[in-house]
Structure 1
Amino acid sequence: MNHRQILAAGIAFVALSAVHPAFAQVEDSNVLTVGVGAAVIPSYEGSDDYRVIPVPQLRGKVSDFAFWTRGPSLYIDAIPNRGEGIDFQLGPVAGVRFDRSSRKSIKDAAVRALGERDVAVEVGGFVGIGKTGVLTSDYDNLSVRVAITKDVVGAHDSYVVTPAIEYFAPLSTRSFVGLGVSADYVGKKYGRYYYDVDAAGALASGLPAYSAAGDSSGFKKVGVNLTGGLSLSGDLRKGWALFALGGYSRMLGDYADSPVVSIAGSKNQWMGAVGVGYTF
């Protein structure tokens, strides 16, 4: 596997981003969790073919300043969280999008014939708020976050807005469950780059020409995922732990109607992952 494939799969593997649950955040101002796992994800966004890819993940705090990876993106919270119950979040985010950037990763022959897409580097920021002690205990956590990024290297040359709601509940010091809902709103150049099929592409692939995805901005997909974790040491705040994720997303609107999805792929996107992490 090359580094592009490894990082591309990371977008599906959010289980390890929850590796340090809310009750640990209250106690520790410095913590680091490193994880690795295997994820089953679509061959490309909108594909009905799947592949298994290894995935790394990282999360931690330094002097109460949190950072975490979400797939191939890095988030840094510039507002320290000292465990007061309310966590205001604001900071930079930077990531890399490898979708369809390697022919070897695209199993569908028609989509492969459309050619590779350049790697996009997306930079921006996020804002959010979290609350510890919401429903089931003093340590469950509910957070709402919106990230806005823009491609800065001229690949899709557009923006992506990602609102997300996440809830995590420790069942004990040894286990937790989590539920997340998110969506992607993209600019018209994004749709044009990944979902339009021009005349040359139609001739090469056999897919019909399509341009509606590039006519306007809109919601590209919405998804939900369920995560869970189990400590091997008896305490999720330290040592080894196992994690798992299952997720579903639905392609929307003109993006779902693109031949890349409606003919060569599927509107329904499934993903799953299992992994192991170590908290220092």
Structure 2
Amino acid sequence: MRDDAAASGSASATMLAQESGTIDEAILLPPIPPNSENGERKWARDYFSIAAGIVSVPSYSGSDERNILPGFYLRGRVSGFAFSTRGTNLQVDLVRQRRGEKTDVKLGPIINLRSDRTGRIKDPQVEALGEKKLAIEAGVMAGVTHTGLVTSGYDQLGFRVVALKDISGRHGSWAISPTIDYGTPLSKRAYVGVSASVNLYGKGFGGYYYDIDPAGSAASGLPVYDRAGRKATVGKYTLGMAGAYALSGDLRKGFVLIGGAQYGRMLGRFSDSPIVSIAGSRNQWLAGGGVAYQF
């Protein structure tokens, strides 16, 4: 299989990573395995992958109500430089991938639009707290992936960290998400992957999205809460799986059916916030599917 074998399989995970506009719950974005074809090209081959579908997500992070949203995905590589969208963010890998490399180091910039609680809030009490403004975040992603580990010469184990800082003056804080993932093609037609991540947030993030001041309490009927913004904390963990099946008979090209699901659990000070413990749920589920096209 060539170096783009896993890209279509990762599209379902990428679409699911939207969760109300956040990226902190990345299910799976497997790196591209090395090119096994003979040739004289120095860099791994160019490719593009696009996908569209629908996802079912909580109406805000911590909600027990759901929204059905469109999901989109774009991924590619040109002259060894890879780029991808994940939900509402764009990231670029500035470390060029050479042809035939089994260990791929990644490092590059990322920009994200965080739209949690900016609209489509179904719970009347949380809606009464008022909508939040769109946050623009910028940061760095870094990671390493090794190809050819367990089941075949094309399975992949990866570790990555995404660090983001608000540059729009909304929550004025930061978010860090370390993720480990594993994916493998089962054949030229089928692909499966799993991942796990933990999400850490600065105190400004917790205060902006999860604390409730006296005015908000009076408007919503929810109790005053100020613990989420007292200090940086782990706010959530996630476990996910994704899969793909090639309609063309080959995951590396043509149309591919994609799907996936994710379970998340709100933790600590975030889970104790009334918008979660009273108006929402600590358990967070996502699911989605669609069609990808790779060329």
TM-score range, shorter chain: over 0.9
Q: Secondary structure at the match of 1:221?
A: strand
1:68 Cα deviation (Å)?
1.2
Residues 92-132 of structure 1, C-alpha deviation per residue, up to 9 Å, x if partnerless?
A: 01110000012xx0000000000010100110101111000
Trace 1:81-96 onto structure 2 (pairs within 5 A). Answer: 81-82=97-98, 83-96=100-113
- The one-character-per-residue Cα deviations of 1:176-229 (angstroms, maximum 9, x if unpaired) are 000011121000000000000000000000000000001000111000110000
Q: Which residues of structure 2 form unaligned runs of 5+?
A: 1-16, 38-43
Q: Distance in 2 between matches of 1:236 and 1:273?
A: 19
Match of 1:153 among 168, 176, 179: 168
Amino acid at match of 2:33: A
SS in 1 for 2:126: helix
Paired residue secondary structure (1:212)? coil
Q: How does 1:87-166 map to 2 (within 5 A)?
A: 87-102=104-119, 105-166=120-181
* Structure-2 residue corresponding to 1:71: 87
By how many angstroms is 1:22 displaced? 2.9
Deviations 1:227-266 (A, max 9, x none): 0000010111110001001100000000000001000000
Task: Determine the C-alpha separation between the residues in 1 that align with 2:48 and 2:71.
Answer: 17
- Distance in 2 between residues matched to 1:216 and 1:15, nearest whole Å: 26
Preserved CA contact (<8 Å) 1:241 1:278: yes
CA distance in 2, matches of 1:73, 1:222: 20
Of 247, 260, 282, 1:232 maps to 247
Q: Given the two structures, how large is their TM-score scaled by the length of structure 2?
A: 0.88
What's the counterpart of residue 41 of structure 1? Answer: 57
What do you get for the CA RMSD once the two structures are aligned? 1.9
> Would you say the 8 A contact 2:22–2:116 is kept in 1?
no
Identity percentage of aligned residues: 44
Aligned equivalents of 1:247, 1:181: Cα separation in 2:
10
Query: Residue 31 of structure 1 is aligned with which of 26, 42, 47?
Result: 47
Q: 1:137 is paired with a residue of what secondary structure?
A: coil
The change in CA–CA distance for 1:274 and 1:162 in structure 2 (over 3 A counts) is same
Counterparts of 1:147 and 1:207 in 2: how far apart (Å)? 33
SS of the aligned residue for 2:249 comes to coil
Q: Does residue 194 of structure 2 align to residue 175 of structure 1?
A: no
Deviation of 1:11 after TM superposition, in Å, equals 4.9
Runs of 4+ in 1 over 4 A off after TM superposition: 6-18, 25-28
Are 1:51 and 2:62 matched, yes or no?
Answer: no
Q: Distance in 2 between matches of 1:234 and 1:21?
A: 19
Contact 2:260 2:287 survives alignment (8 Å): yes
**Structure with the higher fraction of residues in helix conformation:** 1
Matches of 2:33 and 2:279 in 1, distance apart?
42
Gaps of 5+ in 1: 1-5
Residue 200, structure 1, aligned to residue 215, structure 2: yes
Judging changes above 3 Å, is the alpha-carbon distance between structure 1 residues 196 and 236 closer, same or farther for their aligned structure 2 residues? same
Mapped partners of 2:169, 2:286: distance in 1:
29
1:14–1:245 contact (8 Å) kept in structure 2: no
What's the TM-score once normalised by structure 1's chain length?
0.92
Q: Secondary structure at the match of 2:281?
A: coil
- Structure 2 distance, partners of 1:211, 1:229, is 43
Number of residue equivalences: 271
Q: Which residue of 2 aligns with 1:3?
A: none
Distance in 1 of aligned mates of 2:131 and 2:140: 28
